[in-house]
Each structure stands twice: as C-alpha cells, then as structure tokens.
Amino acid sequence: MSIKVRKIAIFNGDTYDVPQGIQRIDHRATHGWQLRYGGTKLFSDHTPDGSGAAASLDKATKELLKRIAVLPAPSLLQRGPSQNKSSDLPVGISGPVVRLRRGGRTRDCSLSVLIPRFGQKPRRCTIYIGTENTYTLERYHQALERAIEMRRQAETEYERAATRAKRADAREHKQHLAGRSPGQ
C-alpha cells in the first residue's frame, strides 16, 4: 500500500511528492517542511528561493520513517462521548437496551458494545444483563464491567493493527525511495 503521498507545488513552481504527515510551510522568511507525527519539527530549506526544498523534504521524510518505526500510529478512535449521547456510559457502549423477543412475554435487557476493527467495519456485541424479573443493579454493573473490558481490548487490538499497517507502509515507502535515483 505504501504511505499516502500527494503532489505539492511550492511557491517557486517546483512540485514534490509529499508523504502524509509532512506539510509545506511558506510564510514570509520561513520556507520548509513541517513533520507532524509524534510532535512537530520544521525542516528548513535554508534558502529563500526554494532551492533547498528537495533536501529538506528528504530529511523530513527520513525522520517521518524513523518515527513511524518506533511510535504507535495515531489513533482515529473516538476518545470521548459525543455531545448527543444522553447517558454517561463510555464511548462505544450504549444501553441498557430493553426488548421483547418475538413470541416472548418477558422483556430482557442488555448493553450494546461497538467493537472497532482496523480496516474492517466495526462489529456490535451484546452483553446480556437479565430479564425484567432478574435485572438487578449488581448484574447491570457486572455487565458494564464486561462491556468496558471488551471495548478496551478491542481498542488495544485496533491500535496494534493500525501501527503494524503504518509500519508496513513505511517499510514499503522506504524501499520505494531506495530504488529511486537522486532528484526523482
């Protein structure tokens, strides 16, 4: 897959393939590439005419690849509840959901957990609490603990998979760069 790149034309008309995570800064006396991955760092052209842009982009790209190799991928998972959420449940957990199954006479209650999966659609899991006859606050809290742990494990695996994918893309990009001739 390789790291996503985009074409950027700088102020002097030169065009570069720039990896995701690097931005161009051209403002008054500042000309260079800003790395935005695990913090920011500016790689200056050290020239007012943009003639040092290729060298500074090369340095920024090398630093980006180094950081990807050691830092976890930025998480795209939502960290806080949305403003519309009416309950105080953690992100990815909703409920309790009360329903009457077809043909049934007793309603049951459960929590719904959204399981994020990197590169795939999220999956919904249900944590059973009880029926209207067996529901207790203690059973609710036990189900909530299971739901929180299930969501935490899924987030951890999602972030590991995202980091593995980002690092594989970086290795592929590094090989691509190694195969280019200078100035390409």
**Amino acid 174: pLDDT:** 87
Query: What average pLDDT does the segment 50-63 reach?
Result: 94
| Position 168 pLDDT exceeds 70 | yes
- The pLDDT tens digits of the residues spanning 86-96 come to 778 889 999 99
3-state secondary structure 97-158: EEECCCCCCCCEEEEEEEECCCCCCCEEEEEEEEECCCCCHHHHHHHHHHHHHHHHHHHHHH
Query: What average pLDDT does the segment 115-139 reach?
Result: 94
CA Rg, the chain, in Å? 25
| Position 154 pLDDT exceeds 80 | yes
Mean pLDDT of the chain: 90
- The model's confidence at residue 103, banded by pLDDT at 50, 70 and 90, is confident
CA angle 19, 22, 25 (to 5 degrees): 135
| Position 32 pLDDT exceeds 60 | yes
Do residues 127 and 146 make contact, with C-beta atoms less than 8 angstroms apart? Answer: yes
**Amino acid 181: pLDDT:** 53
Q: What is the pTM of this model?
A: 0.76
Cα(110)–Cα(108) distance, rounded to whole angstroms? 7
| Position 182 pLDDT exceeds 60 | no
Residue 122 DSSP label? -
3-state secondary structure of 73: coil
Cα(67)–Cα(128) distance, rounded to whole angstroms? 43
- The pLDDT tens digits of the residues spanning 70-91 come to 998 887 787 777 777 777 888 9
Q: What are the residue boundaries of the structural domains of the chain, listed by start?
A: 5-71, 78-184
Tally of CB atoms within 10 A around 56 = 19
